[in-house]
Amino acid sequence: MSTPKVLAFAGSIRKDSYNKRLAKIALHAAEKSGAETTFIDLFDYQMPLYCEDYEAEHGKPESVSKFQELLKSHNGFLIASPEYNSSLTGILKNAIDWSTRPDEGEHWDTCWRGKIAGVLCAASGLGGRCGLYHLKTILGTYGTIVLPKHLIVGHCKKHLTNDECVQDDKMQQQIDTIASELIRVIRGLHS
């Protein structure tokens, strides 16, 4: 196959989000494994809360169409999301909800079916497991193959001090493993 294309984004739009930093670190690892990579900030793709009445009256927002095109044009995803109240964030869930609004002739899961995803979480303490479980469940429902191994970077302020690597060799190896496994599975399915 041609070079695998991997899209990374975070489930947080906070300017100094540790999950954005973690997504960039994972994407850097995917690039080192031979992927063509793209990072986006969901802040730049802000979407109104999904409501069928809104969609009927105003149509699909341009930000949604752009997000959908990015999802469709990549083979896999690296998604880093904080845990909010034992689940994924509202901003991420809303983006996913909008992404399942098909264009004419498409199926509702067009953006996600057959794609491969690796999921991660940066947490200020030790949380994150419930949010990643919900994210994996949602993506799996849409036909995305989610890598079984995930990573939670607890006490993230200590470990995530730059956008290139984690300040813990063992954690960095786990990120590298997730990224290389993502590329391996994409290549295996698309060869």
DSSP assignment string, 83-152:
-BTTB--HHHHHHHHHHTSPPTT--TTTTTTT-EEEEEEE-SSS--HHHHHHHHHHHHHTT-EE-S--EE
Distance, in Å, from the CA atom of 55 to the CA atom of 7, rounded to the nearest integer, reads: 26
Q: What region does 151 belong to: left with phi over 0, alpha with psi -120 to 50, or beta?
A: beta
pLDDT of 184: 95
pLDDT of 28: 96
**pTM, full prediction:** 0.95
Residue 165, SS3 per DSSP: coil
With contact defined as beta carbons under 8 Å apart, do 81 and 19 qualify? yes
Among 171, 141, 191, 126, CA closest to 29: 171
Total domains, the chain: 1
Distance, in Å, from the CA atom of 182 to the CA atom of 76, rounded to the nearest integer, reads: 7
Element (H, E) at 32: helix 18-32
Ranges under pLDDT 50 in the chain: none
> Domain span at residue 135?
5-189
Length of the chain: 191
Task: Report in angstroms the alpha-carbon separations of 191 from 4, 27, 84, 142, 167.
Answer: 11, 22, 38, 22, 35
pLDDT of 1: 62
Q: What is the dihedral of CA 19, 39, 26, 14, to 10 degrees?
A: -10
CATH of the domain at 157: 3.40.50.360
Estimate to the nearest angstrom the gap between the alpha carbon of 18 and the chain centroid.
Answer: 14
Residue 176 in tokens: 């590298």
pLDDT of 158: 87
- At which residue do the structure tokens 């031979």 appear? 34
**Cα angle: 68, vertex 70, 75; to 5 degrees:** 110
